[in-house]
């Protein structure tokens, strides 16, 4: 018999705040975290804006020496994981360490340190490479450092499924706890690639917004005048626990995780299927896993990237899955405020979905002024909405046609 799995802790490092309270307050207020890039000189780039994390000090979450040795995506993950553990009031020690694991998602890892090291090798020679270069670069160092410094010694994985990585990590963790492989998991996503090559690469694909004169209005999911996504950075981590484990220690329960779906498009390296086939099957799989019908879903935290094809095809997919109910449920893209965290998106957006269930508040899609063709659903435009949210779904779709859907519901004693 599969075990029930609940969310007992959360941590956030985002472009709109550090910590759950600050990030959620900004989100519900419709505050944008998009501004001019400060991480490097972007004056020669087509896109000069991003969702950078402001005011982050790694030394607040780890020793000074470690903070200097870690690439930002690792530090963000460590910070969010530490906050999530503290929020859950979960102590990891010799009695439970081997039953608590870590799974994180990260799309590109230490791209910034890779850029700097390649330049060093080219201009100064191979002897100028830091011995910490490889550990700073590889994506699995995020769960590795969380394990080393926070104590969990159970399953330890890093997933690199592009923009679905964070959601896949949460989904895999959910199944590990549900099936008895672990009693609890620290899980989510992290990313920090506001970097020269990332911006140049996405510009070459014509994927990024170039609305440089109005950064806060650049991310416009489902809106007629959208012109691309905005890169964001940060991390979102959750504590998932078996229900009996959480109840035994008197933990606060934010929500119950009930469904996970994942599919592949088998269509194109970057474009989703025009009919939304992969997304349709992904949402349907998650609903079956959760034992729910489409009309039971109240809210969808959409992938909603602010690109022409994603917004259109995701809207088509929602209509295909939910039929008439598609026009009755609420949908929003929090990327309108945070930008797109790539492999970290699923982490923060799962946290936002949990908070929506817990508080019965639906965050808005800001910058929604003129509906795009076929994007005619209820995207909760421009202002947060107080409404019952018993069941929330969150979607994450990635390059290569990899898809993930998670479903959460309000916790009740009865299943």
pLDDT in the model for residue 69: 87
Does 415 reside within a domain? Answer: no
pLDDT above 80 (res 397): yes
Total domains, the chain: 2
Query: What's phi and psi for 23, nearest 5 deg?
Result: -65, -45
pLDDT of amino acid 72: 96
pLDDT band at 353 (very low <50, low <70, confident <90, very high): very high
What letter would DSSP give residue 329?
S
244 with 264, same domain: the answer is no
- pLDDT given at position 403: 98
Length of the chain in terms of residues written: 415
* Residue 44 scores a pLDDT above 90: yes
Which of helix, strand or coil describes residue 405? Answer: strand
**CA neighbor of 249 nearest in space, from 119, 372, 377, 88:** 88
Residues 271 and 220 in one domain: no
**pLDDT for res 292:** 98
Among residues 202, 224, 248, the one where a domain terminates is: 248
Q: What is the pLDDT of residue 118?
A: 95
Give the domain CATH number at 64. 3.40.47.10
Residue at 202 is within a domain:
yes
Domain boundary among 194, 225, 248: 248
pLDDT tens across 235-253, in order?
999 999 999 999 999 999 9
9 and 145 fall within a common domain? yes
| Domain membership flag for residue 63 | yes
Tens digit of pLDDT for each residue in 83-95?
A: 999 999 999 999 9
Closest CA to 7 of 192, 175, 256, 179: 256
Report if residue 254 sits inside a domain: no
172 and 321 belong to one structural domain: no
Residues 311, 165: one domain? no
Same domain, 227 and 365: no
Answer yes or no: are the C-beta atoms of 268 and 401 closer than 8 Å. yes
Looking at the fold, whether 241 and 270 belong to one and the same domain comes out as no
Is the pLDDT reported for residue 219 higher than 90? Answer: yes
Active-site residue identified among 163, 273, 282, 375: 163
Of 168, 245, 273, 340, which residue is the catalytic one?
Answer: 340
pLDDT at 384 over 90: yes
Residues 296 and 403 in one domain: yes
Q: Could you give the CA distance from residue 247 to residue 217 in angstroms, rounded to a whole number?
A: 44
CA distance 11 to 347: 10
Indicate if the pLDDT at residue 68 is higher than 90.
no
Residue 374 reports pLDDT greater than 80: yes
> Rounded to the nearest 10 degrees, how much is the dihedral formed by the CA atoms of 315, 317, 321, 326?
0
Residue 400 lies in a domain: yes
- Which pLDDT does position 195 carry in this prediction? 97
- Beta-strand (E) ranges in 21-143? 35-36, 49-50, 100-105
Q: What pLDDT is attached to residue 144?
A: 97
The residue out of 208, 227, 248 marking a domain boundary is 248
Does any domain span residue 342?
Answer: yes
Per the structure block, which two tokens stand in for 305?
A: 């990237």
pLDDT band, residue 415 (cuts 50/70/90): confident
pLDDT of residue 243: 98
What's the rounded Cα separation, in Å, for the pair 65 and 56? 16
| pLDDT computed for residue 200 by the predictor | 98
Identify the residue whose tokens are 């959760």. Answer: 290
Strands 361-362 and 385-386: antiparallel
Instruction: Tell me which residue of 10, 7, 11, 13 sits closest to 338, measured CA to CA.
Output: 13
**Banded pLDDT at 28 (limits 50, 70, 90):** very high
Same domain, 11 and 41: yes
Active site residue 303: yes
3-state helix, strand, coil in the chain (%, to 5): 40, 20, 40
Nearest Cα neighbor of 74 from 86, 87, 56 is 56
Which domain range does residue 94 map to?
A: 5-248
pLDDT, one tens digit per residue, over 115-170 is: 999 999 999 999 999 999 999 999 999 999 999 999 999 999 999 999 999 999 99
Q: What percent of the chain has pLDDT over 70?
A: 100
Quick check: is 108 in a domain?
Answer: yes
163/93 same-domain check = yes
163 has catalytic annotation = yes
How many other CB atoms are found less than 10 A from the CB of residue 26? 19
Integer Cα distance of 143 and 186 in angstroms: 9
Pick from 102, 216, 96, 104: nearest CA to 148: 102
**Tokens for 288?**
């079956």
User: What's the whole-number mean pLDDT along residues 73-91?
Assistant: 98
Question: Are 191 and 77 contained in the same domain?
Answer: yes
Shared domain check, 290 and 185 = no
**Is 255 within a domain?**
no
- The CA–CA distances, whole Å, from 234 to 98, 153, 252, 314 equal 28, 24, 25, 24
Overall average pLDDT of the 370-383 stretch: 97
Percentage of the chain beyond pLDDT 90 is 97
Range 56-71 average pLDDT: 92
pTM of the model: 0.97
Question: DSSP 3-state assignment of 300?
Answer: strand
- Structure tokens, 36: 């001019």
The more confident residue out of 69 and 158 is 158
For residue 66, name the pLDDT band (cuts at 50, 70, 90): confident
Closest CA to 350 of 173, 166, 78: 166
Task: Classify 372 in phi/psi space as left (phi over 0), alpha (psi -120 to 50) or beta.
Answer: beta
The active-site residue, picked from 273, 282, 303, 375, is 303
Q: Is the pLDDT assigned to residue 1 strictly greater than 80?
A: no
């Amino acid at each position: 018999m599969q075990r029930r799995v609940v969310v007992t802790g959360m941590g956030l490092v985002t472009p709109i705040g550090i910590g759950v309270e600050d990030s959620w307050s900004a989100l519900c207020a419709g505050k944008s975290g998009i501004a001019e890039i400060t991480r490097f000189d972007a004056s020669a780039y087509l896109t000069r804006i991003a969702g950078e994390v402001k005011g982050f000090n790694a030394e607040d979450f780890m020793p000074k020496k470690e903070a200097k040795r870690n690439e930002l995506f690792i530090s963000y993950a460590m910070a969010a994981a530490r906050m999530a553990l503290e929020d859950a009031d979960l102590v990891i020690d010799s009695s439970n360490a081997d039953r608590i694991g870590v799974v994180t998602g990260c799309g590109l890892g230490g791209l910034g340190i890779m850029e700097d090291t390649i330049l060093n090798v080219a201009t100064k020679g191979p002897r100028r490479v830091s011995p910490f270069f490889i550990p700073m670069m590889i994506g699995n160092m995020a769960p590795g450092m969380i394990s080393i410094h926070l104590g969990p010694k159970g399953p330890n994985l890093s997933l690199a499924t592009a923009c679905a990585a964070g959601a896949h990590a949460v989904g895999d963790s959910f199944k590990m706890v549900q099936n008895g492989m672990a009693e609890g998991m620290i899980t989510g996503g992290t990313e920090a690639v506001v970097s020269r090559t990332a911006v140049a690469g996405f510009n070459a694909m014509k994927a990024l917004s170039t609305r440089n004169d109005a950064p806060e209005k650049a991310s416009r999911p489902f809106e007629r005048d959208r012109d691309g996504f905005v890169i964001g950075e940060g991390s979102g981590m959750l504590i998932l626990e078996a229900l009996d484990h959480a109840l035994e220690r008197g933990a606060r329960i934010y929500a119950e995780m009930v469904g996970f779906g994942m599919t592949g498009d088998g269509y194109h390296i970057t474009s989703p299927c025009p009919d939304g086939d992969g997304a349709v099957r992904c949402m349907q799989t998650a609903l079956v896993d959760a034992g729910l019908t489409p009309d039971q879903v109240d809210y969808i935290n959409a992938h909603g990237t602010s690109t022409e094809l994603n917004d259109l095809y995701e809207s088509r997919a929602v209509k295909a899955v939910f039929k008439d109910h598609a026009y009755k449920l609420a949908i929003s893209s929090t990327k309108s405020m945070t930008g797109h965290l790539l492999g970290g998106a699923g982490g923060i957006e799962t946290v936002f979905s949990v908070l929506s269930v817990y508080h019965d508040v639906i965050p808005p899609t800001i910058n929604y002024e003129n509906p795009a063709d076929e994007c005619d659903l209820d995207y909760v435009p421009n202002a947060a909405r107080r409404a019952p949210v018993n069941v929330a779904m969150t979607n994450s779709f990635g390059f290569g046609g990899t898809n993930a859907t998670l479903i959460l519901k309000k916790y009740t004693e009865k299943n």
